[in-house]
Amino acid sequence: MSVKISVIIPVFNREKYIARCLRSLLNQSIDRKDYELIVINDGSKDKSQQILEFFKDTFKEEIKIIKNEKNIGLPASLNLGIKASRGKYVVRVDSDDYVNRHFLLTLYLMIDLNSKYSAVACDYYLVDNREKVLGQVNCDEQPIGCGIIFEINHIKNIGFYNEKYLINEEKELRERFEKKYSIKRLAIPLYRYRRHTDNMTNQNEN
């Protein structure tokens, strides 16, 4: 059975944050049958896998776990998730972030009701480790790799993520994507981008 949206969640040593991420995605206003969560555990050494299995035991239908026996890097893990997707649309959420309750429904309606839209990105709140909002960010001015809903066939058409780019993989994908398609901005902060000492801005891990 197909779904409307596939949410791709890469995980590498995120035992502190992954439960918060999954709770926000399981508490969406869109019907659960309309989306799936595909989590790629990229060789985590902490308790991330145990936490994922706990959620999987409770939400058997909604969550699919792909476990890499060794770390293969963020772009390769994202590609595994996309290739396992059943949705017409795909959106990436990083495992240390979380989202608004209407995140999926709003992005879905924006792209599905606008036939000329190839992708839609939402603004985001920058938050600290205690989830205090530090500010609202314009996703056009400071783009991130998450909070963008793509038509999955467009991602396939441009050749997925380039697995050679272990950093800035989202910038490289976006450059290729925008040569053929456009990304529309939704000026509503539906995504929560967490700033902490060991996230992607500081370390080149997923």
Q: pTM score, two decimals?
A: 0.92
Instruction: Please write the tens of the pLDDT for every residue from 79-122.
Output: 999 999 999 999 999 999 999 999 999 999 999 999 889 999 99
- CA nearest neighbour of 64 among 102, 28, 36: 36
Query: Is residue 119 assigned to a domain?
Result: yes
Instruction: Please write the tens of the pLDDT for every residue from 146-194.
Output: 999 999 999 999 999 999 888 889 999 999 999 999 999 999 999 999 9
Query: Is residue 33 assigned to a domain?
Result: yes
Query: Is residue 29 assigned to a domain?
Result: yes
119 with 154: CB under 8 angstroms?
Answer: yes
Structure tokens at 96: 């240390």
Query: Is residue 202 assigned to a domain?
Result: no
Count of domains forming the chain: 1
Query: Is residue 204 assigned to a domain?
Result: no
What does the pLDDT average to over 55-76? 94
Instruction: Give the integer Cα–Cα distance in Å for 67 and 77.
Output: 10
Instruction: Please write the tens of the pLDDT for every residue from 132-144.
Output: 999 999 999 999 9
- CA nearest neighbour of 66 among 76, 80, 85, 82: 80
Instruction: Please write the tens of the pLDDT for every residue from 8-34.
Output: 999 999 999 999 999 999 999 999 999
Query: Is residue 199 assigned to a domain?
Result: no
167 with 77: CB under 8 angstroms?
Answer: no
Query: Is residue 65 assigned to a domain?
Result: yes
Annotate 76-129 with DSSP letters as a single string.
HHHHHHHHT--EEEEEE--TT-EE-TTHHHHHHHHHHS-TT-SEEEEEEEEE-T
* Run of H or E residues at 142: none
pLDDT score of 69 more than 70 = yes
Q: Could you tell me the CATH number of the domain that includes residue 139? A: 3.90.550.10
pLDDT value at residue 1:
56
Domain that holds residue 59: 3-194
Query: Is residue 68 assigned to a domain?
Result: yes
